[in-house]
Every structure is written in structure tokens, then in C-alpha cells.
Structure 1
Amino acid sequence: MTIVTPIKEDYLKIIFELGGVHKKVSNKGIALSLGIAAGSVTEMITKLTEEKLVSHEPYASISLTKKGLRYATELVRKHRLWESFLVQKLHYDLPDVHPEAEVLEHETSDRLANSLDEFLQYPKYCPHGGVIPDSEGNFNDISHVSLADVEDGHVVTIERFIDNHELLIYLASTDLHINDEVKLEKHDPFEGPIQIIRLSDRAKMNISYKAAHNIFVHP
């Protein structure tokens, strides 16, 4: 019997977020998103591979198995339905919803999740742009191109932020929002900040190297 602990759940959710359904995810990407050492990621991925929750080729990258995807979509669905409820109905600020939803998702039955989904009129995306799977585990395609991967001079639209409490607090201080159209001005060397300009008001922003890997965009 597979016992999925809260730490394992965090890994499954972040692999889902980073695109581990349709593509391979790197150790580095997981480490950056969870804010932990690469060595810790390697150790946990070994455990998840043994439990057949992820597929991992030695010295290569990581993806969810069908079993892992089933766990991940259920967790993500419940978590993001609660985030949507907290923002839409209780008027929580975006940086404050993650810790609350983290608790609520574990106490939510499938019946309650379905009722909440209906009450919210079946949202497709959560307040920070993350996709919400339906009751059958289906969800819309999303971009897995990070802001850090965009070349200088290109214009993109901010699509979503990784579901990370510290990241959402940081982004609240930058005034960057979902659906903002931005031009990437410059990547500073040695993991320095990413310099962008929001086209609507010409506001200039410096986004940290770590945050830029956790912000996803589309052309």
C-alpha cells in the first residue's frame, strides 16, 4: 500500500505544475520551486520511483506515472478549488490563500470537492493562473515556458505563477499580475535578476532568478 505523506504530495504537485504530465522535469527545476537542495530532491525522487509514482531515468529527468498523476490531479483540484473560494467569496489576498488551502485540501472529500466546484460554477483556473482539473481528472493545456527561458527583446504574457507561498508574497511586492504583457529587457549574468517592462504602463521591474523560473508565460 502506498502511503503519500504531505512531503510526497508537495513533490507530486510541483512535478504536475512544472509539466511532468507531458514532458520531463529536471531535479533543478523541482529544487528551485520547492526551495530545497538538489540532493534532497534526488533522495525523494528515488522513493517516489520505488513507489511507482514517478518515472525517472538515471541522470535524466522526471515525469509522473499514471498512478502519480491520479494522486496529483486530485490534490491540485481540491487545493485550487479552495484557493478560488477563498479569493472569490471570502476576499482573501492572493499571497494568503496557499497555507489555508494546504490544510483544507486534506479534509475535503470527493463529494465536497464536487459541490464546491458546482458552487463556484466550474472554474478552469485558480487565482494565480494554475489549471483546475475536473472531477474526471481532465484539464486544459497550459504553458511550461518560464519567464527565465524567454530571450531578451521578446514580448510575452504572464500566464501563471507556481503555487508557492513565498513566491506569491514576493510577487505581491513587485506588482506583477496574471495577464500582464511584458517585454524581457535583459538577463543579468550569474543568476542575477531578469529585467522586464510591463507594456501597459511602461513599469520596469527586476524579477529574481528564482522567481523567474516559477513564472510561466505564453507568447
Structure 2
Amino acid sequence: MTTSQMPYSQVQISAWLRGLLSVAWADSDFSASEKNLLQELTQSPELHSNINLEELKPITPSELAEALGKDPKITQNFLRTAVMIAMVDGMYSQTEDDLIQQFCVALGQEIKPIVELRKKIEALPGKEHHPDLLNPVKEWLDRLDIHDKRLAHFLCKAIPAQCPFERDVILFGRKVMHIPAMCQINPLYDQLVGLRFRAMNYLADDCDEDVSKYC
């Protein structure tokens, strides 16, 4: 793995994972699937992290800022993955947003689409369906730069290849209900799938890697 394929230092990668763990834990709902994913990521040879999950503790905003540095490209990319982790289940809680905003302050950055989204939601008169509200957030996520091999592997591992959870519930030979696909309940699913596809292309085209395991 060349230096050009790993522009982030090991300190930055470790802090990055701790930051994502902090976001996953922010809503006090650290599910078994989230723990399994983080376990896989921390021990992943592709990420060259080799971190014990039991020792991987949440990170403070000041610790994160010290580790990531001041490069706005790096800090914005981290914030994009943090928002992705917060929204991957189709929900974005107030506690997750509070922590991400603390990260923003410490990093000297602002997620303008999230700030504007919050203002618009607060100004809504009711709970009507407003599908266009998330368009600025989608555009911001689409600008995530993939130029680190470990980040590309993280995206391929963290984002499912197919819409999860879609299945029929069959009891005694009869279908009693249908659980919809994630793409039907998560308005950002297209962006997540797009990021995964770009990550796979980066690994295949720029790093000459076999990505069949992610297909």
C-alpha cells in the first residue's frame, strides 16, 4: 500500500473510528449489528487499524480535533461519514446532532446543509411530507472525497450492498406482513449506495484491488 493511497495517518484513522463510535453511541442505542460492524472495522486488515473494540472508547471533541488536524478536506470528510453513520438507519436524533455539532465547533467547521435543514424543520407548520428538504444534505454527502484506501474499505464495509431488512414474514405457510427495504424508508439511501459504488471504483481503478468480495 503506497503512501499516496494512505494520506491519513494511523492516529487520524484511530480517532476517526472513535468519532464514529461516539456517534453510534450518542443515542444510547448501540445495537448488536453496530457492534459487529465496528468489531469488523477495527480488526480489518484493509483498514490497518488493529484496534481492540473493548479499548475503543468514545472520543472527546478536543481529542478528535487534535488528532485530525486543521485540513478542512479531512475534517469535512470525517463529518460526512459521521452524518452517514447517524442517518444510515433512516433516523437522525437530537443527541446525534448535538454531538456532531460539538465536533463541528472543535474542528472549526460547519455543516451548512444540516444547519439549514434544522431551521427549515423548526419553521414547518406541521408534520407534512417534505421530500425536498434533504436535497442539500444529499449534495453535501455526494462531495465526500475518496482518496484513502482505508476510507474506501470502510465505506464498502459500512454500507450494505443491497437494501437490508426487506423480507416477507411468513407464519404457518402464509405471508402475514412485509418489511420494506431500507431504500424505501431511508431518503439518503441513494447517496449511501453511490458512495459505496465510488469507493469500489477507487479500490479497483486506483488501487488495482479485487473488489468482488463487496459485490
Q: Tell which has more relative contact order, 1 or 2 (C-alpha 8 A, sep 6+).
A: 2
Per the normalisation by structure 2, the TM-score is 0.31
- Pick the structure with more strand per residue: 1
Per the normalisation by structure 1, the TM-score is 0.30
- Pick the structure with more helix per residue: 2
